[in-house]
Structure 1
Amino acid sequence: MARPSYGPEAKKRSRRLLEVLLTYANDAIATQDEATLEALRPQIQTRWLSEHRLVIRTKLRFLQALTTLAPGEIQLNAEHIKEALKRFTDFLEILEDNRPARSGSETWHFTLNLWHTRHDIAGNLQKFDVEWENRRPEKSKQVAGGEGGEGGQGGQGGQGGEIIDWWGICRDALMAQNHQRLTTNPLTSADGVSFELDQVYVPLGLVERKHRRRYGSDVNPQEGSRLYEPEDTEVTQIFNHEEFLQQLLREQQSQRIAIVGEPGAGKTTLLQKIAAWLLENTQDLPIWVDLADLQGKTLEQYLIQAWLPAAVRKLRVPGEVEEAFCEQFNQGRVWLFLDAVDEMALESSQALAKIASYLTGWVADARVILTCRLNVWDGGKNALQSFQTYRNLNFSYGEKSALNSSDSCNQVAQFIRRWFQDNPNSAESLQAELAQPERRRLKDAVKNPLRLALLCRTWGLTQGRLPTTKAMLYERFVESIYEWKQDRFPTTSTQRQQLNRALGELALLAISQEETKFRLRHRFVCQVLGAPDDGMFQLALQLGWLNHVGISETQGERVYAFYHPTFQEYFAAQAITDWRFFFNCNSSHPSYRIFAPQWREVILLWLGRDDISPTYKEEFIQALTAFNDGCGGYYSYQAYFVAAQGIAEFTDCQQAQKIVQQLVKWRFGYYKFNAQQQLRYLAPIVECARVSLLKTDRPKAIAALEQFVTSSQNEFDIWNAAYSLGKVFDPGNQIAIAGLEKILQTVRYEALRWQAAYSLGKVDPGNQIAIATLLEIITSTKSESTRRKVAYSLGKIDAKNAVAISTLEKIAASATDPSQSRQALENLATLHSDKLSSVVNSIPAQFPKTRRRKRKTKPPSSYYSLNFQIAELTQGIALAEDEDIQRRRAYKLAQLVPGNLIALNTLLQLIKSSKNETLRKRTADNIKEILLPEQFPNAIASLKNCSCQQFINDERERCRDCYKLIWHCADNMDYLDFSQIWHQ
């Protein structure tokens, strides 16, 4: 038998087959022979199990015919294809053979496990190249490359062939950037209070955020065959700090990671810890970039022109050193740590798209971890949606959980004790004060790491009454700064008031001007604070409110920044006297500030001020809840959601209860007695209400959910609300537990009983009713798939349950469906990986779930052939009688020619007129993907008359996708621009 070949020709043929399969499965093959392609579709069946798993059933001769249709120079025969499939299996290990018998069958049935998401064809092919070369035997490389073969993983060339220690350079650069120090040190070090990161660092858990299946108007649980996890759990898995590092980073399962969270949530600190871990445990190269420092440069320009000269300590870097630096990226050794997307000198809606455009060329070979504020990440169209996204959990007080309920889980107490390690009495007194019943809201607020650090510092200086809002907490901290620096930089009360007003004016102007939002140029600061040598400018620098952070590349002038963006927002909030400021248009950028993400935190801090009249705040909340946008209500909802978040800082608001009850109604719908049915709102409204409930006044949200759980007549909604209440809002809530137990006692619908029992087991660990219900379903169900899933759920809430383990073992050994057998093995390995090494070894290898930026790939073609394809697709759209063929051709045309009006108008007409629900949904997804910002007006004008403003009626199914698309446009547009288009 001939030895397998791993050389260049085998690689080219295998790569060609993978490219054709992915292009075909993504409906993106551009061919001049559309008729032959349509004839092949029944013969080459594809199905996406997930964004990373593709199932294919076909025969070799059909694959050979497909490769002749797809553009490309390499032609494959049947033997080439068979060889490539074998290399996918035994060499790259990305193919699972699903055939019951591998000999004597002409049919090939297999699953491909991809490295990147389905649409990222270029990324998958690039990873194919890397994996192929990494796995090639050394002998194969030598034969192919001879003496001048590929370089290794070590340091590479400088002048005269000298070896460069890139690892040492990156280590020293990190040390020079002070990334081992606590981020609060600049404000405390002058008083002798300065911490190394490890002295006070308390690791936070992380949750993986994924695009959730959503339940709103989209699903009728009584008609569907499956139920969905409640939406409030955006979690697919919770990781502690070490699990995150070991599982995701050491195993290199992610090339693109985003860490998102609220201001001060510990994003930068976590990034520091990851960088330190890499230095300690690997030879990889961490490179830190404060994104605010780009100042108009691309990432590539910044790395070559700024970071590299500073790192190697050279004024001019030789070209060969630059080449060697780029080679480290090509070899996959570099980790880019991109901190604070939200602090870039760009409008927040553009920052994510700009980062996506920077991750190209040789920079794209780096693994990337970035941090971003949650409102910027979630606001509008996200060009980095392919990133694997994690959110920092807040500090915990050690609430009862399935793991334990001891003080070891009280992370707030751990942090306080570490902060006051030299003064235990202060730690005890602060913990005792937080334990008082009236401190419940403050306790919730200081789960945020930055706010807890501020609280500890102010408590150490001025022990006494604690604040009740974020604004009052920052006010206390500002006062403490002045007091503790009084000896070195004495100030009078008048000077402090003057400086606070000036800093407020500076902050307000900076936030209003997007290009200087968080990086303030010297002349700009001087206009407000005066000359830098004396007066307020100098005092702001001495006290640490402003810090020199660099030199402007374009103007050559000094650049400053507030100590932390949250302080900039606090001072801005102090400078606002009239709530109408948030409605008025910004002269330099005409837009209502209530809809702009950069003003959201300022609004909250303004509402938390204790020097503003409650009556005045009531007027603002009333203006938000009564706002009429005059264009479909899209922005009216957004204004209401701002009010809902605002009452978390203005808890005495007289409208608070009404607002929270309205959120619950939007979130879960309501029962219409005369129609005898539960009516629901459309998915965008449901989703925004869900998020707003999480951000509004917590006690009032809990009370409203408790009322809903006890009064609702819909079991599905009771389950959903009870799980949210008992797991997210108030862990272990007894009303939530009782509501879930009642469902198990009264409902016979199998899927709902299973999900409710599983939820109950997570809300109330060890609950015997939950365990008994799952055992009953395992015994009674006739579905092998359901039995496996229920057994797995039982094992997760009761790890030692013998029935769960034996059921999974039985399915793994004798399931009629091979996929159930494989999944049962995976379930067993997850539940008992320490005891089932033999099981783990028998499971097909798991592959990276890396998400990268979607890249729309166009087949190489000449001008003539491109125009031929455009003409053929345009004619094909007009001639197609089948709606789905028409959709596919329009989608291909839009990919081939972005902005093509024929393609867009065809898709818009389909979504309005088609009676096929599945096709409307696919069409909506296609439109969202290909719709350019300049085409928003066309989409709004076309869809506004069927946007389902009266969406709770019999026509909601026909209009929901139109409504979602218009909501998508509104999310990515300025309100005034949207309103103008709406009324044309």
Structure 2
Amino acid sequence: MSRNIRGDESALENVLSLVEALLQLSEEQDCESKLPLCAVWDADKLRITGYKSEQTRGNRSKTTEVGTKKEYLLKQIKDAGKTLKLPPQKAEFNLSQDKRELDELQTALDWLKELGVREDQKSTKSQGYWKFILTLKHQTATIKENLEVVKQKWKEHQKTNLKETFQTQTTDNSLDWQEICRAMLEKHKRLTTNELLFADDEMKFELEAIHVPLALVERTKPKKCSEDISAEQGSQLYEPSYEEKQRFEHQAFLEQIIRDGVGKTQGHRIALIGEPGAGKTTQLQTIAFWILNNNLGLPIWISLADLQGKSVENYLLQDWLKNALEVVEDVTKEDKNAFADLFKNNRVWLLLDAADEMSSLQPLTEISQQLTGWVKYARVVLTCRVNVWEANAGALADFETYRLLNFEYPQQVQEFIEKWFKPRNLTPQPPLLIKERGSNKGEKLWQELDKAERQRIQDLVKNPLRLALLCSTWQGSDKGLPETKAGLYQQFVEEVYKWKENRFPTTEQQQQELNAALGRLAKRAIDQETSRFRLPHKFVREELGDAKQQSYLFPLALKLGWLNEVGVAAESATKEKVYAFYHPTFEEYFAALAIDDWHEFLNHVPDKPALGVYRIFAPQWKEVILLWLGREDVGREKKEEFIQALVEFDDGCGEYRAFDRVKKGFYEFRAYFLAAAGVDEWKNSCNADAIVAEIVKWGFGEFKVEQNEWVEFLTPIPEAARTALPQTNRIKAIAALVELIGNPQLDYSTRRQAAEGLGEIGSGNQKAIDALVELIGNPQLDDDTRRQAAESLGEIGSGNQKAIDALVELIGNPQLDDDTRRQ
């Protein structure tokens, strides 16, 4: 069997050094003199040989071609100034320097043979001589071009070598690691697939073929904050952001990053980050089976929540290997050593799922510290929520970060809906599952979803999980789409109970009791500093009762799938079981159901804040707060009181000077931004207009009569306000931006920023489109502003005839500069 050269970059350097020296030799020498080392070209063949002179009878000299010796090759390498680098794994420190170099050269020759070098005529290497032929590009090509041929052969050999390795039949006493990994992957896939969403395997297969695009991203460095903001405050005001470097469609990602190893880490360290429900686990499953089916290595899956204090190495040996080999007793030392050798031979891919679910305050730092020993030789693909990745920025700096983007709207969302409702021959299913299944049902959903006023829901269902749940709820319901996320999740919950009705029927009272208990459980879990998503048996039992006792709530939650067993607590001597909600977003929704009084989010005690409640400043509670504001069963008076409390919040711990007067403190801004997001869920708030107007003013400034000029806030408030704008009531925000753009006192720079803002939030909105069309057609504006308006119009005016006409007219305007017309 040929040796495995995957990942041996030092060996490649040696080979390239040797070939480059031989190419230089071919340009410099005259081989008519029959030297001990000759490099002779014949079209694309570079023949490496040498001659030996011997004395014959009569004092005559006879020159015979015998090939070259390693010593001559080594001398030529030195003469060319190309010192070979010894691979660390091949270093033998007890050798003299000369012998080491000879051994190193022998290694490079061995690698050349592995790459398909043809030995010329009869080999005499047993006597220390070599003759061989390199097939390159051509004698007339440059050295660099010929070296590229060697690099390409190296890559091709990597693929072929691995394929041969995995296709070779093992002996009866050997383990078939490929089949072992496949069986373990199938097991994990069953545990991690959202079975509630799919009625049949055919649908599952078709929907898994729709993948979100990925973007190679880099975390951007925050700008320097203003002197008016302390360093501590500034670090909290700035939201970590990412700059997109390159976008990959699904198949291109698999081929270029996973197979070919393009990028700074050559595919050895990859992080997939995304929002909850973005499809991280699904993407990782696809990668795992693609690796296996293309003979690229042995994929080993670890759900990181299962570590529970164990190191990756210990988990692999004590848990994964034991389950994979299906042994009752401990795994033998021989099997452990064979398993470790798989890593050392660069055959293993570690697929680490859900770093955010680890029971650690610094999960990424912990992972970094554990990729050591023989584990470090594995190629690693890791998934993680964006917020956890941001919070641990720099812990895995050697990883290349790819962010899972949303489904593209409308193309991929519409495609998903069409495939979901595509007529198919189903095996017998409960009536609920086959009710009105067909393209007409899907068309109705799409028509309802694609209305201009549905922008919030359109944005919501770009997330793969939520789109699947939407299709599921629409499948058996004649209700229209709700306005809020809480309303949508309410439908989701109702749908789950209907879906499980045949197997696990429940009464309305049982559902209410279970929802309340799940809410109390979720609320307590979110308040925990660690393990918010992993819930020990004792923790669950305190709210739902013991599954072995008379209480029916615990077993019912398990039967319905709201809670699922995900492993055991490693720190428990009795191997206590651990559970998790069906998905973290449901945990947040049930927690919102458990909040009766908004003071549980905010109970301000100005003189003694330690006695107060300030969940409004805890990131993990933001989504819960928004879901609470969207609940239909919460009275408008309570919601209005809460919004008012956020708007009027006085932190009493510092002030921020803006314009010519003292404004809010740091925490007051944060409370206000939360109120701005809140009025998108509670759209009937009497404060909504004033809140949106204030956000726009902070983001873009206002005209000061006494100064007779447009004045803006000091950094970083404008940036934070503009970030908050897309999160608030979009209809009101669009109206405020349109009014701002029409203000004759507005300066060019601010008008451009406002036009850019419309491009972010104004998709399909006719008022936004009209405002941008008017900007484009205004000859009194500068070209930069009109160009920005055209760019924003292109983002929000898809299919709008008025937008198309305006852009067509702009293109035909000979007075505009070429850059604007091109845009």
1-structure distance, mates of 2:703, 2:224: 14
Q: Secondary structure at the match of 2:504?
A: coil
2:470 aligned to which of 436, 455, 458: 455
Question: Are 1:723 and 2:735 an aligned pair?
Answer: no
Question: Are 1:183 and 2:198 an aligned pair?
Answer: no
**Superposed, which structure 2 residues align to 1:643-722 within 5 Å?**
643-672=675-704, 674-675=706-707, 679-681=711-713, 684-711=716-743, 713-722=746-755
Q: Secondary structure at the match of 1:648?
A: helix
Gaps of 5+ in 2: 1-8, 18-76, 88-103, 115-124, 129-157, 227-239, 427-436, 655-664, 799-803
Q: Is 1:625–1:639's contact at 8 Å kept on the other side of the alignment?
A: yes
Q: Is 1:489–1:542's contact at 8 Å kept on the other side of the alignment?
A: yes
**Superposed, which structure 2 residues align to 1:799-878 within 5 Å?**
none
Aligned to 2:421: 417
Question: Are 1:376 and 2:388 an aligned pair?
Answer: yes
Q: Secondary structure at the match of 2:742?
A: helix
Question: Are 1:603 and 2:614 an aligned pair?
Answer: no
Give 1:193 shift.
Answer: 5.5
Give the stretch that moved more between structures: 574-583 or 439-448: 439-448
**Superposed, which structure 2 residues align to 1:366-765 within 5 Å?**
366-379=378-391, 383-384=395-396, 387-398=399-410, 410-418=414-422, 423-424=437-438, 425-435=440-450, 439-533=454-548, 534=550, 535-555=552-572, 556-583=575-602, 592-632=614-654, 633-672=665-704, 674-675=706-707, 679-681=711-713, 684-711=716-743, 713-726=746-759, 729-730=762-763, 733-735=768-770, 737-738=772-773, 741=776, 746-747=781-782
Q: Secondary structure at the match of 1:410?
A: helix
Give 1:634 shift.
Answer: 3.0
1-structure distance, mates of 2:417, 2:470: 13
2-structure distance, mates of 1:429, 1:759: 30
Gaps of 5+ in 1: 1-5, 15-78, 93-131, 219-230, 399-406, 779-789, 798-984
Aligned to 1:198: 205
Q: Deviations over 1:922-980 (max 9, x none)?
A: xxxxxxxxxxxxxxxxxxxxxxxxxxxxxxxxxxxxxxxxxxxxxxxxxxxxxxxxxxx
Give 1:616 shift.
Answer: 0.9
More strand per residue: 2
2:307 aligned to which of 261, 272, 294: 294
Question: Does the C-alpha gap of structure 1 residues 544 and 217 become closer, same or farther in structure 2, counting only changes over 3 Å?
Answer: closer
- Give the alignment's Cα RMSD to 1 decimal: 4.7
Larger RCO, structures 1/2 (Cα 8 Å, 6+ apart): 1
Question: Are 1:283 and 2:283 an aligned pair?
Answer: no
Higher Cα Rg, which structure: 2
Q: Deviations over 1:341-374 (max 9, x none)?
A: 2222234xx3333333334444344333333333
Q: Is 2:346–2:377's contact at 8 Å kept on the other side of the alignment?
A: yes
2-structure distance, mates of 1:412, 1:759: 27
**Superposed, which structure 2 residues align to 1:45-444 within 5 Å?**
83=81, 138-139=110-111, 154=165, 163-178=174-189, 183-185=193-195, 187=196, 197-201=204-208, 202-212=210-220, 234-252=243-261, 253=263, 254-314=267-327, 315-347=329-361, 350-379=362-391, 383-384=395-396, 387-398=399-410, 410-418=414-422, 423-424=437-438, 425-435=440-450, 439-444=454-459
Q: Is 1:718–1:740's contact at 8 Å kept on the other side of the alignment?
A: no
Question: Does the C-alpha gap of structure 1 residues 139 and 449 become closer, same or farther in structure 2, counting only changes over 3 Å?
Answer: closer
Give 1:432 shift.
Answer: 3.8
Q: Secondary structure at the match of 1:391?
A: strand
Give the stretch that moved more between structures: 493-502 or 375-384: 375-384
2-structure distance, mates of 1:9, 1:451: 47
**Superposed, which structure 2 residues align to 1:19-58 within 5 Å?**
none
1-structure distance, mates of 2:723, 2:13: 51
Q: Secondary structure at the match of 1:532?
A: coil
Q: Is 1:502–1:528's contact at 8 Å kept on the other side of the alignment?
A: yes
1-structure distance, mates of 2:749, 2:403: 28
Q: Is 2:758–2:792's contact at 8 Å kept on the other side of the alignment?
A: no
Q: Is 2:769–2:793's contact at 8 Å kept on the other side of the alignment?
A: no
Question: Does the C-alpha gap of structure 1 residues 684 and 364 become closer, same or farther in structure 2, counting only changes over 3 Å?
Answer: farther
| AA of the residue aligned to 2:330 | R
| AA of the residue aligned to 2:253 | F
Q: Secondary structure at the match of 2:349?
A: strand
Give 1:612 shift.
Answer: 0.7
1-structure distance, mates of 2:449, 2:706: 49
Q: Secondary structure at the match of 1:514?
A: coil
Give 1:643 shift.
Answer: 2.4
Q: Is 1:204–1:393's contact at 8 Å kept on the other side of the alignment?
A: yes
Q: Secondary structure at the match of 1:259?
A: strand
Q: Is 1:397–1:411's contact at 8 Å kept on the other side of the alignment?
A: no
Q: Secondary structure at the match of 1:357?
A: helix
Q: Secondary structure at the match of 2:681?
A: coil
Q: Is 1:216–1:681's contact at 8 Å kept on the other side of the alignment?
A: no
Q: Is 1:289–1:336's contact at 8 Å kept on the other side of the alignment?
A: yes
Give 1:614 shift.
Answer: 1.6
| AA of the residue aligned to 1:539 | L
Give 1:611 shift.
Answer: 0.7
Question: Does the C-alpha gap of structure 1 residues 156 and 760 become closer, same or farther in structure 2, counting only changes over 3 Å?
Answer: same
Question: Does the C-alpha gap of structure 1 residues 507 and 368 become closer, same or farther in structure 2, counting only changes over 3 Å?
Answer: same
1-structure distance, mates of 2:216, 2:762: 19
TM-score, normalization by structure 1: 0.56
Q: Secondary structure at the match of 1:375?
A: helix
Q: Deviations over 1:417-444 (max 9, x none)?
A: 3598861143233334434566443343
Give 1:245 shift.
Answer: 2.6
Give 1:746 shift.
Answer: 3.6
1-structure distance, mates of 2:633, 2:562: 22
Q: Is 1:157–1:320's contact at 8 Å kept on the other side of the alignment?
A: no
Give 1:704 shift.
Answer: 3.0
2-structure distance, mates of 1:735, 1:368: 50
Question: Does the C-alpha gap of structure 1 residues 457 and 233 become closer, same or farther in structure 2, counting only changes over 3 Å?
Answer: same
Q: Deviations over 1:264-318 (max 9, x none)?
A: 2222222222223322334223222222211112223222322222223334233
Q: Deviations over 1:192-214 (max 9, x none)?
A: 65666423232223344433477
| AA of the residue aligned to 2:309 | G
2-structure distance, mates of 1:137, 1:662: 73
Q: Secondary structure at the match of 1:286?
A: strand
2-structure distance, mates of 1:761, 1:437: 16
Q: Is 2:535–2:578's contact at 8 Å kept on the other side of the alignment?
A: yes
Give 1:512 shift.
Answer: 1.9
Q: Is 1:329–1:362's contact at 8 Å kept on the other side of the alignment?
A: yes
Identity across the alignment (%): 43
| AA of the residue aligned to 1:718 | R
